[in-house]
Amino acid sequence: MYNIYIIGTAGSGKSTLVNAFKDWMDSRDLDCVLVNLDPGADSVPYDADVDIREWIHLGEVMDEYSLGPNGAQIVCADLMALSIDKLTTAMESYRGRFTLIDTPGQMELFTFRQSSNIIVDALGREKSVFVFLSDPSLSRTPNGFVSNMMLCALTQFRFSLPVVNLLSKSDVLSEEELEELRLWSMDPYALYGALLDDDINTQTLMGIELFKAMENVGVYQELIPVSAQTFDGFEDLYNQLQLIFMGGDDADMVDDA
């Protein structure tokens, strides 16, 4: 099984993408198993095959430990690692080529807690990839674009695994905006120019320096626009996953899972 972790800032469209990408996979006869790892989710827009809320629930942790939602989220993140046997046993009963894994709303809960690396190892590190969702509400300015790139790079740095950088909710952007963001993601000089076009201030200069550093260490990567409403970009996402998992050979990815 190939594990695809969906990660991104709060509200960036993770759960909606899990649901829509599952539908897209179904339409191509690609089996996938859905896993919810967000103990704080009130509801998710898909039928989770395996759901962490079966064992850990934010509300119960708040009551039991007398904590507010933020403190309880951290306890939940750590409890997830302690429930790893239950999680892996539940997952073993499902057969599918891909596992789509939804992660907690606030990405730092997954990115910064050691428990997530324990989960990644237990589910099989060698066949894992992270799909990072950049929210257009942040990415549409040059400064926000670099900030999202940094969050994506941070994910790559924390997990030492391949990361695909998606621009979620592409349907809310105009053609011109999409074209501009696509250009920034493919041509470092276009992004560099856009940052310079901003009012020159300390923030802009810092953005340029951070961007140069990311370019130098090779975490600068093309952004794939996707929409869970129109399914635009899902083919590109799938092709990118194929490239990462199997070097582009679809037949192998089907047989080898």
Ligand X SMILES: Nc1nc2c(ncn2[C@@H]2O[C@H](COP(=O)(O)OP(=O)(O)OP(=O)(O)O)[C@@H](O)[C@H]2O)c(=O)[nH]1
Helix H or strand E encompassing 130: strand 128-134
One-letter amino acid for residue 53 of the chain: R
DSSP character for 29? T
Sole window of 77-85, 176-184, 187-195, 221-229 interacting with ligand X (rule: CB under 6 A):
221-229
Edge-first strand order for the sheet with 163-167 is 50-51, 32-36, 98-102, 2-8, 128-134, 163-167, 224-225
Judged by CB, which is closer to Mg ion: 69, or 193? 69
Q: Of 139, 165, 227, 240, which one interacts with ligand X (CB under 6 A)?
A: 227
Buried b (16+ CB within 10 A) or exposed e, 166-193: bbbbbeebeeeebebbbebbeeeeebbe
Per-residue binding string, ligand X, 126-165, x by CB under 6 A, is ----------------------------------------
Q: What is the DSSP string of 163-194?
A: EEEEE--GGGS-HHHHHHHHHHHH-HHHHHHH
Q: Give strand ranges (E) for 37-126.
A: 50-51, 98-102
Judged by CB, which is closer to Mg ion: 14, or 113? 14
Sole window of 7-15, 49-57, 60-68, 108-116 interacting with ligand X (rule: CB under 6 A):
7-15
Judged by CB, which is closer to Mg ion: 106, or 143? 106
Judged by CB, which is closer to ligand X: 132, or 245? 132
Q: Does 22 bind ligand X (CB under 6 A)?
A: no
* Binders of Mg ion in range 13-72 (CB under 5 A): 14-15
Q: Of 161, 172, 210, 257, which one interacts with ligand X (CB under 6 A)?
A: 172
- Residues in contact with ligand X, total (CB under 6 A)? 17
| CA 22/CA 38 separation, integer angstroms | 18
Q: Does 168 bind Mg ion (CB under 5 A)?
A: no
Contact set with Mg ion (CB under 5 A): 14-15
Contact set with ligand X (CB under 6 A): 8, 10-16, 38, 105, 168-169, 171-172, 227-229
